[in-house]
Each structure stands twice: as C-alpha cells, then as structure tokens.
Amino acid sequence: MTDISPQQQTEFEAAAFRRLLAHLRDRNDVQNIDLMNLAGFCRNCLSNWFQDAARAGGLEVTREEAREMVYGMPYEEWKALHQGAASDAQNAAFETSKPRE
C-alpha cells in the first residue's frame, strides 16, 4: 500500500465518511430498517458512533445534534418527510437479523 501519513489517513477517512453521508442523504428512499436488515447498521447507528467519537474527544454532542449531522436536518423532520411504516416482511427480517444475546 502507498505510504500515507496518519494525518492523510484521517483526512481520507473523513472524506469517505462525508461521501457516505451525502450518499445516504441522496438515497432517502432507503429506509433505516432496510439498512439494518442488510448491513447491520443504519443512519441512527452512524449518529451514535459520531456521538461516541465526539465524547471520546472531550466534546459533548447531544443525540439530536449527532442525528442532525448525519441526516442533514432535524431527525423528526427527516422522519416526517422520508420514513414510512415498516412492512411486516421488514419487521420479520429485522427480528431474525438481530444478534442473539
């Protein structure tokens, strides 16, 4: 692999994350439950991870602030505009895909 500095790696990772967020904002037709069923994470997971990273860096970010950063708007607004009710099939797939405790 090409030698990259830690600073470059951080910059590239941040750019990839921003591109992922832009992609998810453009694909608001993809429901969070579909992401969970397919990949095991969703937009809410990303916002939780962002909040965890901020906290680890010494900055308190609220859940609402983290979600707005991921969704590009307040979460409740995004839900009202884009989130539909989950189908029985989506809910069933979610129940079978959850990790067992």
Mean pLDDT, residues 1-11: 93
Calculate ∠ Cα 33-62-99, nearest 5°.
35
Tokens for 6, please give them: 């830690």
For residue 86, how many other CB atoms are within 10 A of its CB? 17
Q: Where are the domains of the chain?
A: 6-96
Residue with the larger pLDDT of the pair 1 and 44 = 44
Q: Taking the domain 6-96, which CATH number applies?
A: 1.10.3340.10
Mean pLDDT, residues 9-19: 97
**Residue 100's Cα: distance from chain center in Å?**
22
Mean pLDDT, residues 33-44: 95
Among candidate residues 16, 30, 71, the one with its CA nearest the CA of residue 48: 71
Task: Provide the pLDDT confidence category of residue 97 given band limits of 50, 70 and 90.
Answer: confident
Please give the mean pLDDT across all residues of the chain: 94
